[in-house]
Structure 1
Amino acid sequence: MIELHFIMKKLIAFAALSALFLQTQAQTISGRVTSKTDGEPLPGATIVVQSTKAGVQSGTNGEFEIQLEKGKTYQLTASFVGFEPLTKEVIANENAIVNFALAEASELLEPVNISAVRAGKNVPIAKSNLSKTQIEERNEGRDMPFVLKDLPSTVVSSDAGTGIGYTGIRIRGSDISRINVTVNGIALNDPESHGVFWVNTPDLASSAQSIQVQRGVGTSTNGAGAFGASVNIKTSELSLKPYASADVTGGSFNTLKTNVRAGSGLLNDHWSIDARFSKINSDGFIDRATADLKSYYLSASYYSKKTSVQLIHFGGGEETYQAWWGVPEAKLNGDSAALYTHIINNGYDSQDSANLVNSNPRTYNYYTYDNETDNYKQDHYQLHVSHAFSEKLTANAALHYTWGRGYYEQYRKDDDLAHYGLDDVILGGDTVTSTDLIRRRWLNNNLIGTTYSLQADLNQLQLTFGGAYNKYIGDHYGEIIWAQYASNGDIRDRYYDNRTTKTDFNNYLKASYTVGKFTAYGDLQLRSVSYVANGIDEDGTTIDVDRSFTFFNPKAGVNYALNDQSRVYASVAVAHREPVRTDFLDAPVDLQPKAEELIDYEAGYELQTERAFFNANLFFMDYTNQLVLTGQLNDVGSPIRTNAPESYRAGIELVGSYIVNKYLQLGANFTFSQNKILNFTDYVVDYDNGGYQEENFKSTDISYSPNVIGGINITVKPIAGATIDWNTKYVGQQFMDNTSSESKSLDAFNVTDLRLGYNLPVKWVDRLNVHLLIANLFDQEYEPNGYTYSYIYGEKITENFYFPMAGINFMAGLSVDF
């Protein structure tokens, strides 16, 4: 509380000083940057004062503000990659407004063209766009989910409680395994789990030029189908001038993020080179939940009028201490009697019991072995080529390769030797059947593939043909690196070993036709998937999976422009999705998973002016055989899912923002929804009699799907170069399984972050920025994620576990651009 009191005093002092500065002779010039072709805003455009070289970047709606000395005349130049720069003269008088409509440039062709997988202005899709400036403002070294956390219908979580290390994101209640993620149009989702492990590419946000999040099925894209949303990330684009930048940010829990970026600018009118190197370290909020993360991004590009080529190489390495166990409910609530029962039911020894009893209730970590860590490296290679046959016809193609390899290490107490294929040990007259040991569970995977698209602009008719082919090979195996009783084991013996081979091939055809104010949109995709897995699983069972799927995914919609500022739209989209590895391996033999089907109905109204933005979007997502979370976890912490024959998500998303004046901007988004399974069978393990006990539910809530999600943003710019950002997020009650049980739920929470930033007025660098994040400003105790499982052992016993987030914490940093 002393820290909070000190901070509030500083904020009050800052506000008072701001009021004094407002009396100076600085004059705010505002405006907007748009495309001359279609009036679409250009977020992230650069606006530079020619006499001083000072500049700003445009926001979400292309808007900008810049402080100039009152009464003087200036030359302002607006520029954006792929567009001709435009210079205008302005006199810095009160209420001066200067707008820029930039014409598309024809000199150089962009080598990475992602328009084939993004939704344009007239596509009837609910979407959010983040510009480079907005990404930078949200990027304090936390993983990508925390950059996106304030977007509509979004809930994020963190195992370590800080947003660094293993993090999660859900959009419309769908977790990352149901969200399609691409980087430059190439799928980032793991082919086996469909998940995205952001920790493998830390600080990717620092190389992101823009991000588009489509909610619902969205447009056809590459990789696994989107069942909740899609996230399309575009990495850095051409900078015409050389640049260099550095950022150092540090704060609570010994967190330190450093990165450096540099680019050559355009060399000899054709070439450019860009690079970034990052390092992030944190002790974590949860006990021992340390993270040691490194990443890099390199690109070399060739640009010309007709053909452009870009080679991109990015990746990272991570070592994170495991924190996926969660805090038992009894520990979190301080219930000593229930905690004792938990210890007995789970067979804790004296060391584990002491750790549980003596730990802080909100930072408890079950693991105590000093190297209980996850160690993984992932390298991505992308080669992009674009060629313009004419102004009306452009082709894009890419080759890509991803290599991931690593393991997590575990200390195991009193494991049966037979579990590892080892013989019992005879010591004198005693037979030893179990041992303490340390094991490593390895994953070595390779993904290679290609993407392609052909885009034709036939005036009123826009056509895109595209697709992708990917082949994945993943090896899973385990080794014992130490054992108290080694028995007949040899070094590097594998106690399990299996391989997965998966191919994924899709083609799509998209068309949009505009007549006056009316645009019709159509999208047809054919996707074929082959999945083969065989070998020995971790528990000694034989894996033998050979499944093939063929999916036809049509989409159609209409868009009607009411005027230059508003539109109405509607769409219907079909998506299919194959089960993932754990669905096959974790399901009971007689409950093998089926492919999912979704029909997504969307309709909305959108208004966009220079000062205001508003979108109301209705959705009804009708699922057949949706794979829903049971609330249980398997032995490596992955959620277990089961098919629900009929289920749906229905709701409305409201998004709005308004620029009140040059000092104040307001924003808000709210989602109100119902998320139901019509008929659900819950399976509870029966240790008394074997098998499962069944319980049937009707019209029950889908797990981890809050009915209300809301956010409020207030941005204040009290003086030139200073920004105060207030973000409040509300997430309603979530159930941890599909039984709608109040006793197995996550409480609603409301959390506020405050960001302060100031561009220091110095002339020896392009920009010198100091920034401060106060996360969880009001020190709320909340848990956005958890899990539950039940079993029969004499009686029905339910175990709940939670992942607490850190209380009030801080990140302060310094960024410099040259």
Structure 2
Amino acid sequence: MKRTALFLAMSAAMAAGAQEANQDTTEMIPVEVRATRAGVRAPFTKTNIRKAEIEQRNLGQDLPFLLNQTPSVVVNSDAGNGVGYTGIRVRGTDATRINITLNGIPFNDAESQGSFFVNLPDLASSASSIQIQRGVGTSSNGPGAFGATVNLSTVEANDKAYAEFNNSYGSFNTWKNTLRLGTGKVGKYFSADLRLSNITSDGFIDRATSDLKSYYFATAFEKGNSSLRFISFSGKEKTYQAWNGVTEADLKSNRTVNYAGTEKPGTPYQNETDNYGQTHYQLFFNQKINSRLNFNTGLFYVKGAGYYEQYKADRRYSSVGLPNVVVGNTTISRSDLVRQLWLDNDYYGNVFSLNYQANKTELTLGGMVSKYEGNHFGDVIWAKSGMPTPKHRFYDLNAWKNDATVYAKWQQEIAPYWQLYTDLQLRTVHYRIDGFRDNPTLRVNNDYAFLNPKAGVSYNRNGLQFYGSYGLAQKEPNRDDFEAGAARQPRPEKLHDFELGLNKTARTYNWGITGYYMAYKDQLVLTGQINDVGAYTRTNIDRSYRLGVELQGGLRLNRWAQLSANLAISRNKVVDFTEYVDDYDQGNQKQNKFNQTDIAFSPNLVGAGQLQLTPVKNLELNLNSKYVGRQYLDNTQQKSRSLEAFFVQDAQARYNLPVKGIQGITLVAQVNNLFNKMYAPNGYTFSYISGNTPYTENYYFPMAGTNWMFGVNVKL
């Protein structure tokens, strides 16, 4: 199987290459996102995904799964079928190091810096284009990009009224229902678009249910050289927790087991759920000042609130700030509890850009100012042995974060076919945390100033592009990193990224090769070291790096068959690593030192391939393949703590049924994991010593075997 996957990816990549058209895609995207995207002549490694490609893949799975075929991407799902909580890594880096923007506005959570697409289910149905920049990329808004930038645009122009009704049903009782409506141009100047979505699934993992609802609304006024656009989108999710994973023993015999809720005696607690709602408001004003100068500004506000509920067995009343219960002459100090851990936050600010473009010169001045206000609190809502009040708040902590960014970009034609690109970003952050749930007296009040330069050169002629670039990225630690303790506060991370690429685009083929070297300073990783309250937190390591090559391409075999593929080969190393292992016998931690070990979750090989056939009119067949090499669960590079390599295939058939009087009906049938591969793309590990014997426990997040989805899309 491995040889088949590698042959498919390498043969197509060598025969073809990078899927980038020789036209500047920034000309086709709205001005709201143009300042943060890289044009085709910019010397950065990127992949553009058009609306038609997004629609082809969108049958209800979360956005990361729609990006699975792009280079160096590995995705995972807590529920095992791509619905609910999902994750994405690019070049081995997780979502906390991937800068994600929606219409140029940051989507990453200000504190954890993660991106939770479950909060905005079916966002892909409103996406008009997506650009993925691998590596540092161009300057953007929000936290620094340490693996990639994902820039998503929901803005599109529809001159004519339309209506769409998309329905999908499949394995694990998975439903997706989407209604899209648009007015087109009304009175020459106005337009409005609306989407309503509902996604439900039982999940592959036991009780890993998802109940997801969302809407998207946009209205615009466009006249002459001015436009005003208002966008609002919102999501509400309720998912049964499935984030504990599966033990190594159960992975072999009971892959669907879910330990969440099992602290309750008897049947699992039925409401061990995650509940969160998030609403985004965006208001953009664009003004074309003259033929060369364009100004854009946007106000945004994001409101998020929600909690996850847990049944906790045999907990001390004192651990949640409650007095013991006295019944007669008996004092009860422990009880089963149900708690809710809440996050209620507000995020608002302004983005802006001023763009000047002449024949050989393009200048952009842009930036953002934003403020985040987060309230973290927890409530005990039930105790088996009784409570003095119906609800008890056992912690209530606040956090604030101010973020200001300004960047200047200059792209200049310095000779025929040669472009020089420079980019300088200044970002300042003030972050204040008034305590943590398990360490309420620990206060953080930090200021950061990051100066991030980028520069490169590119050559573009007759479909051939060569480029080289350097970029520096720096970013502040995440909220949890600061809980390491007052004496062990984390340092900011730093990344030097060098990219070198060669692409060729022709009428029937294209190919590309990219080489990169990413050198980290003070990267934050889990080492097993515990913080002041006995929890594991990330620690700065001095040096680590990624060195790799990405091959990609496409070949049109004939008028009804085409092949595309990509393959990433990389070396990802921690130069010196110290592992900390709990020694329960001695009551301390033992240290183990390692040198030149693989970075966790960084496979040396990642490949994808697609065979597309159109054997008859209106029928399209697609076979997608994905290969991911071995991933280590920690930085010790021990095979016993790793995820096996896997090779999976998905198949899809699409038939466009012409119907008189409407645009048509599209029937879609998709089979995922065609050959029933048992694999797990994600997991975690921890080790300890007890009775003078070392133990390691691995947990995995398995994916479903063969499963299917069927969809009916109607366009009026």
TM-score range, shorter chain: over 0.9
Q: Where do 1:149-298 residues align within 5 Å?
A: 149-298=68-217
Counterpart Cα distance in 1 of 2:76 and 2:529? 17
Structure 1 distance, partners of 2:147, 2:493, is 13
What is the rounded CA distance, in whole Å, between the counterparts of 2:466 and 2:536 in structure 1?
39
1:579 is matched with 477
With over 3 angstroms needed to count, the CA separation of the structure-2 counterparts of 1:631 and 1:657, relative to structure 1, is farther
Task: State the alpha-carbon separation in 1 of the partners of residues 65 and 439 from structure 2.
Answer: 39
Are 2:415 and 1:542 equivalent residues in the alignment?
no
Answering whether residue 340 of structure 2 is matched by residue 440 of structure 1, we say yes
2:250 and 2:257 in contact (8 A); partners too: no
Checking the alignment, whether the CA contact within 8 Å between 1:605 and 1:616 is kept in structure 2 is: yes
What CA deviation, in whole Å up to 9, does each residue of 1:643-692 have, x standing for no partner? 11100000000010111221001001000000001011112233333342
**Partner amino acid for 1:40?**
Q
Measure, in 1, the Cα distance between the counterparts of 2:328 and 2:567: 70
What is the distance in 1 between the residues matched to 2:24 and 2:162?
A: 25
Deviation track 1:305-324 (CA, whole Å, cap 9, x = no partner) reads: 21101000001000000000
Which stretch of structure 1 is more off in the superposition, 323-332 or 523-532?
323-332
Alignment deviations for residues 407-466 of structure 1 (CA, whole Å, 9 cap, x no partner) = 111111101111011222233443321100111000000000100000001321110000
Aligned match of 2:278: 378
Q: Which runs of 5+ in 1 are unaligned?
A: 1-34, 44-79, 83-109, 335-359
* Partner residue of 1:796 out of 694, 699, 704: 694
Q: Cα deviations across residues 539-559 of structure 1 (Å, max 9, x unaligned)? A: 254230111110000000000
Trace 1:15-30 onto structure 2 (pairs within 5 A): none
For 1:545 and 1:589, how far apart are their aligned partners in 2? Answer: 9
Q: Is the 8 A contact 1:159 1:166 kept in 2?
A: yes
Structure-1 residue corresponding to 2:14:
none
In the superposition, the TM-score normalised over structure 2's length comes to 0.93
Task: Report how far residue 195 of structure 1 moved.
Answer: 0.5
Report the Cα distance in structure 1 between the residues aligned to 2:439 and 2:122, rounded to whole angstroms: 38
Among 353, 360, 384, the alignment partner of 1:460 is 360
Stretch moving more, 680-689 or 751-760: 680-689
The equivalent residue for 1:54 is none
Paired residues of 1:553 and 1:574 also in contact (CA < 8 A): yes
CA distance in 1 between partners of 2:153 and 2:25 (Å): 15
CA-CA distance at 1:115 after TM superposition: 1.3
Q: Which amino acid aligns with 1:485?
A: S
d(CA) in 2 for partners of 1:633 and 1:170? Answer: 26
1:667 equivalent to 2:567? Answer: no
Which residue, 398, 403, 407 being the options, matches 2:298? 398
1: CA distance between counterparts of 2:225 and 2:198?
38
Partner of 1:141: 60
Q: Give, as a single letter, the amino acid of the residue that structure 1 aligns with 2:407.
A: Y
User: In structure 1, how many angstroms separate the alpha carbons of the residues matched to 2:225 and 2:528?
Assistant: 53
The 3-state SS of whatever aligns with 1:113 is helix
2:672 matches 1:772: no
- Partner Cα distance (2:529, 2:154) in 1: 37
CA distance in 2, matches of 1:186, 1:149: 23
Give the 3-state SS of the residue equivalent to 2:156 in structure 1.
coil
**C-alpha contact (below 8 Å) 1:286/1:364 kept by paired residues:** yes
Quick one: distance in 2 between partners of 1:689 and 1:591? 23
TM-align CA RMSD: 1.9
Q: Deviations over 1:474-494 (max 9, x none)?
A: 000000111112344x33431
Aligned residue number for residue 495 of structure 2: 598
Residue 40 of structure 1 is matched in structure 2 by 23
CA contact (8 A) 1:631 1:737 kept: no
Distance 1:315 1:611 in 2: 42
Contact 2:347 2:372 in 1 (8 A): yes
Deviation at 1:588, TM superposition (A): 4.8
Deviation of 1:695 (Å): 1.4
Residue 361 of structure 2 is aligned to residue 361 of structure 1:
no
Tell me the residue number matched to 1:761.
Answer: 658
Q: Does 1:703 align with 2:600?
A: yes
1:450 aligns with 2:350: yes
Q: Does 1:787 align with 2:684?
A: yes
Pair member with larger Rg: 1
Per the alignment, do residues 236 and 395 of structure 1 end up closer, same or farther by CA in structure 2, a change over 3 Å counting? closer
AA at the equivalent of 2:70: L
Contact 1:660–1:666 at 8 Å: present in 2 too? yes
Report which stretch shifted further, 364-373 or 424-433: 424-433
Counterpart Cα distance in 1 of 2:444 and 2:682: 32
Using structure 1 for the length normalisation, give the TM-score: 0.82
* Residue number in structure 2 paired with 1:519: 419
Residues 207-264 of structure 1 show CA distances to partners (whole Å, capped at 9, x for unaligned) of 0000000000000000001000000000031101111100010010000000000100
Aligned equivalents of 2:249, 2:428: Cα separation in 1: 47
Tell me the amino acid that sits aligned with residue 424 of structure 2. Answer: L
Letter in 1 for 2:131: Q
Amino acid at match of 2:81: T
1:419 maps to 319
In structure 2, the residue matched to 1:65 is none
The corresponding residue for 1:389 is 289
Distance in 1 between the 2:486 and 2:714 partners? 58
Correspondent of 2:51 among 107, 128, 132: 132
- Percent of matched pairs sharing the same residue: 46
Q: CA-to-partner distance for each residue in 1:750-774, whole Å, 9 max, x for gaps?
A: 0111011000122221021000110
Secondary structure at the counterpart of residue 331 of structure 1: helix
* Equivalent in the alignment of 1:52: none
Residue segments in structure 2 that go unaligned for 5+ positions in a row: 1-19, 262-267
- Distance, in Å, in 1 between the alignment partners of 2:536 and 2:62 is 21
Query: Which residue of 363, 366, 375 corresponds with 1:475?
Result: 375
Amino acid at match of 2:610: N
SS of the residue aligned with 2:545?
Answer: strand
**How far apart are 1:712 and its partner, in Å?**
1.1
Between the two structures, name the one with larger relative contact order (CA 8 Å, sep ≥ 6): 2
Measure the CA separation in 2 of the matches of 1:81 and 1:720: 29
Distance in 1, matches of 2:655 and 2:702, equals 32
Q: Is the 8 A contact 2:529 2:579 kept in 1?
A: no
Distance 2:529 2:116 in 1: 20
Letter in 2 for 1:604: G
Deviation by residue 1:680-733 (Cα, 9 ceiling, x = unmatched): 111223333334222111111100000000011100011111110100000000
Residues 1:327 and 2:223 aligned together: no
SS at structure 2 position matched to 1:719: coil
Contact 1:628/1:702 (<8 A) preserved:
no
User: Residues 684 and 639 from structure 1, CA distance in 2 versus in 1: closer, same or farther, beyond 3 angstroms?
Assistant: closer
Q: Is the 8 A contact 1:633 1:787 kept in 2?
A: no
CA distance 1:548–1:486, change in 2 (3 Å) = farther
Q: 1:580-633 CA deviation, whole Å, 9 max, x = no partner?
A: 101112x25543211001000000101011221211000000000011244899
Equivalent-residue separation in structure 2 for 1:750 and 1:314 (angstroms): 36
For 1:328-343, list aligned pairs within 5 A: 328-334=247-253
**For residues 609-688 of structure 1, what are the structure 2 equivalents within 5 Å?**
609-630=506-527, 640-688=537-585
1: CA distance between counterparts of 2:243 and 2:110?
A: 22
- Rounded to whole Å, the distance in 2 between the matches of 1:461 and 1:792 is 63
Contact 2:22 2:40 in 1 (8 A): no
Whole-angstrom CA distance in 1 between matches of 2:238 and 2:529: 26
Residue in 1 that maps onto 2:392: 493
Question: Does residue 529 in structure 1 map to residue 429 in structure 2?
Answer: yes
CA contact 1:245–1:816 (8 Å) conserved in 2:
yes
Structure 1 counterpart of 2:687, one-letter code? S
Counterpart code for 1:803: F
Kept after mapping to 1: 8 A contact 2:500/2:515: yes
